Amino acid sequence: MNKIISLEEAVAKVKEGDTVMVGGFLGVGTPEKLIDALVAKGTRDLTLICNDTAFINCGVGKMVVAKLFKKIIASHIGTNKETGRQMLEGETEVELVPQGTLIERIRAGGFGLGGVLTRTGLGTEVAKGKQIVQVDGQDYLLEKPLHADVALLFAQKVDREGNMSFHGATRNFNVYMGSAATTSIVEAREVIREGFMDPDQVVVPGIFVKYIVDGGAL
């Protein structure tokens, strides 16, 4: 199966109302060309699952400025004043999730788990409306899995089978998001022939990648 598609074909996979996971951390490891194309297309009413909302001129922050999201699920929004403004004005719903809990909920979604138990958030606003499970006399919050319609990922190097390799911190959140989405699209800085990637460099196997955009050729 040829997984390589054009940028235009990739953004067409994202429909209005979709839940979208986007990899990266403050824009590092974020598929910037896919994001720019979505901003240009103007696909709206999306729900974002991401570590953060980056900055107003970087990463998913550009989508925030374009008002493409109806809801944002993230661990923090402090670096993007527009996200905070939209939240306070009631324009965009924002759900803040502790960072470790966020990635574990994504992992649970990708690996078929019913949720994760954590003590983080007990006795705070985070615990409101959530089930408390007792294990060996200790209380834990049950945090349910997160899933997405589409995951937009970035990798330094991808072979044509979709096997992904990263450079440094660019792997943040990209590792698990592909498994938790119905459709995963990776923007690759470099696409190489299958069989030419050292197996020890493969961090995410191609089974979790449905489509590839050759970012180096754009």
- The domains of the chain, with CATH numbers, are 7-114+146-217 (3.40.1080.10)
Q: What is the pTM of this model?
A: 0.94
| 171-192: average pLDDT | 96
Q: What mean pLDDT comes out for the span 146-168?
A: 96
SS3 16: coil
Q: Which of 16-25, 102-111, 189-198 has the lowest mean pLDDT?
A: 189-198
Tokens at 68, concatenated: 């493409």
Residue 217 pLDDT grade (very low, low, confident, very high; cuts 50, 70, 90): confident
Q: How many CB atoms lie within 10 A of CB 127?
A: 14
Does residue 31 carry a pLDDT above 90?
yes
Distance CA 218, CA 213 (A): 9
